[in-house]
Amino acid sequence: MNVYEKAVSELRDSRREALDSAHLAWQTAVSKNDALYAAFCAYQEQMIAAARNKPNTLAAEELNLKSAITASGFDLSTFSPPYACEKCKDTGKVDGKYCRCVIRRVIKADRGNLAMSPVDFESAEKSAPTAAIKKAYGLAREYVSSRAAKPFFVIIGTPGTGKTYLAAAILGAAMARGEATVAVTAFDFVRRALDYHTQFSIPDYIDRFTPMLDCDLLVIDDLGTESMLKNVTREYLYTVINERWKSGKRTVITSNLTPSELNARYGENIFSRMCDTSRAVLLSVDAKNTRLKPI
């Protein structure tokens, strides 16, 4: 069974378990409470009438039943548990495709998706080493807390300015919000792309490329340090950047390269999307002058 089918069956199992325990709770409540039992019988009678297409007062009896449940001190959700995912109603599929909740579940379950350890945003912000990086945390805070924020967060600058740590803090904040996250180094990115590209030769291949397209938040750390493999690096980077740019998915990129170096290395197609100011927060942190400036 592939990981997606496994996640679907886990989702369906937990729905079944939730329904079973709701049913048990209901049986216990009804057996102990006459008013509830009477309201339920009346409701059932009308259900049967409705099923036989006979005149009925089902809607009214349903309301009565709900009032009897709350009047008995129960929460309605105890007996009819809400779906974990309204979109697929816990079936795991929508229009024959895996629901987003299943994809997120698969990404979260794979520990191999985190090449860097997430750090606590608050404490990272407090210990920010320079004024410039402190200011960057302010912008990152907006980025992680506002759904309306621009989806790309690109931070460049000289080595040792705390860019990676900032990325790890953004990652930590996203994970704390329950988002499905993937964090890779640029080196790791190329390895995943290469594995995907040559998957026919890899026994027990696990697809770690597609999660970079599907996840809620992707971090690519240290862009520019990876090998430029023919037909792989630029091509797959373009796929990821373009897909995430088109769908407005949040993507954090750190690099020691300057904008013109990024442009020269990756080409206009990638650079123009990654650094599209209508969709990206672009920052340049300079350690010497502790300045923070938009690119």
Q: Is 85 in the site for Zn ion (CB under 5 A)?
A: yes
Region from 81-89, 127-135, 251-259, 280-288 binding Zn ion, contact rule CB under 5 A = 81-89
Report residue 6 as tokens: 């496994």
CB of 76: closest distance to Zn ion in angstroms? 22
CB of 87: closest distance to Zn ion in angstroms? 5
Which one of 8, 65, 68, 99 is in contact with Zn ion (CB under 5 A)?
Answer: 99
What is the rounded distance in angstroms from the CA atom of residue 223 to the CA atom of residue 240? 13
For residue 282, give the 3-state DSSP assignment.
strand
Size of the site for Zn ion (CB under 5 A): 5
Q: Which is nearer to Zn ion, 99 or 119 (CB)?
A: 99
CA atoms within 13 A on the CB side of 278: 4
CB of 208: closest distance to Zn ion in angstroms? 22
Q: Which is nearer to Zn ion, 89 or 126 (CB)?
A: 89
What is the rounded distance in angstroms from the CA atom of residue 285 to the CA atom of residue 292? 5
Q: Is 101 in the site for Zn ion (CB under 5 A)?
A: yes
Q: What is the 3-state secondary structure (H, E, C) of 70-125?
A: HHCCCCHHHHCCCCCCCCCCCCCEECCEECHHHHHHHHHHCHHHECCCCCCHHHHH
Region from 33-41, 86-94, 145-153, 257-265 binding Zn ion, contact rule CB under 5 A = 86-94
Q: Is 12 in the site for Zn ion (CB under 5 A)?
A: no
Residue reference for tokens 């967060």: 153
- Residue 255's φ and ψ, nearest 5 degrees, are -160, 150
Q: Which is nearer to Zn ion, 87 or 177 (CB)?
A: 87
Q: Is 89 in the site for Zn ion (CB under 5 A)?
A: no
What is the rounded distance in angstroms from the CA atom of residue 142 to the CA atom of residue 151? 11
CB of 180: closest distance to Zn ion in angstroms? 13
What is the rounded distance in angstroms from the CA atom of residue 163 to the CA atom of residue 148? 23
For residue 283, give the 3-state DSSP assignment.
strand
Q: Is 7 in the site for Zn ion (CB under 5 A)?
A: no
Q: Which is nearer to Zn ion, 4 or 26 (CB)?
A: 4
What is the rounded distance in angstroms from the CA atom of residue 102 to the CA atom of residue 113? 16
Which one of 12, 16, 32, 87 is in contact with Zn ion (CB under 5 A)?
Answer: 87
Instruction: Give me the residues that bind Zn ion (CB under 5 A), please.
Output: 85, 87-88, 99, 101
